Amino acid sequence: MAARFPAHRIGGLLTAAFLALVAGCGGPPAPATGVAASPPASGSPAGSAAAEASGSTPAAATAAPEDFAEALPAPLRRAMTGVSWRPGCPAGLDDLRLLHVSYVDFDGRVEQGQLVVNAAIAPATLRVFARLRQARFPIRSMNLIERYGGSDDASMAADNTSAFNCRNVPGTSHWSNHAYGRAVDVNTVENPYLPAGQVMPPAGQAYLDRRDVRPGMIVAGDPTVRAFAAEGFSWGGSWRNGTDYQHFEKPA
C-alpha cells in the first residue's frame, strides 16, 4: 500500500517542480544543478571509500526535508506519456508513485531528487535511500528519465540514478523490471552494466577494477548492498551473466 500524505505537504511542491519538469522534457540531457558533469577523482570529500567498504555509518547525517511518496500528478503523467510510459506497458500510471528523495551528492551536500517506482515498493525504496543518506553514500544525480527523453543510454551516460522506464532488457524482447517500476539503477558510471562483454555506459570502463573502491561505487557487502537487501531487493552485481553493478530489483 502506498503511503498517504496530507494535501498541504504536496500542493506547495507541485506547481514549481512539475511545471519545471514539463518545461524541461524533451530538451538535451544536463547535469543537475550543483552536480559535477564527470565522475570525481579518488578521494572525493563525500566520505571515504574505506568508510563505505567497512560499512561504518556516521552518528548523524545532514538534516534534510522529509521524503515522501505521492500518486503521479497530472503534469507528470502527461510528461511521461510517449516517453517513459505508453499504453500496453506492464505497469499503469495508477500503479506508480512519485518519490521525493533527499540524497548526499559528491560534494557532501544534501540534494533533492525524484524517482518513479511501483506503489508496492515505494515505502521500501524510501527506507533504502534514507539509509544511504544516513551512511552518506554519494549519489551523482537523481532525475526522472524524462529529462533524457526516456533514453536509458543517455541517463546512464549522465551518471543518473533512476527507476521506472517502460523498456525491455537490452538485447531482448522481455520486459525489464524497470518497466514494472520494480528496479532502481544507482550511480551508473561508477557501477556499469556488463552485458556480453560490453561496458554500459562506456565511461564505466574506468571502474571495472572493483577492488579499487572509490566514492559512489557499490561492492559486495557494502552499506548500499545491505540497505537494499534489508528491504528485499536483489543486486545485479552478484549476477554471473550480464553483471549489473548499478541495478537493484524487487520483483513481485
- pLDDT per residue as tens digits for the range 186-196: 999 999 999 98
Q: What is the DSSP letter of 88?
A: T
Half-sphere exposure of residue 163: CA atoms within 13 angstroms, side-chain side: 27
Q: pTM, whole model, 2 decimals?
A: 0.77
- Mean pLDDT, range 141-149, rounded to an integer: 98
With 0-12 / 13-18 / 19 or more C-beta atoms within 10 angstroms meaning exposed / middle / buried, residue 240 is: exposed
- pLDDT per residue as tens digits for the range 16-39: 444 454 444 433 333 333 333 333
- pLDDT per residue as tens digits for the range 218-232: 999 999 999 999 999
Does the pLDDT value for residue 54 go beyond 70? no
DSSP string, 167-203: -BPTTSSSBPGGGGT-EEE--TTTS-EESTT--BSGG
- pLDDT per residue as tens digits for the range 55-96: 443 434 444 567 999 999 999 999 999 999 999 999 999 999
Does the pLDDT value for residue 248 go beyond 80? yes
- Cα–Cα distance measured from residue 143 to residue 164, given in angstroms and rounded to the nearest whole number: 11
Q: Which of 2-11, 91-100, 128-137, 199-208 has the lowest mean pLDDT?
A: 2-11
Q: Which residues contact 29 (CB under 8 A, 6 or more apart)?
A: 147, 148, 149, 151, 154, 155, 157, 158
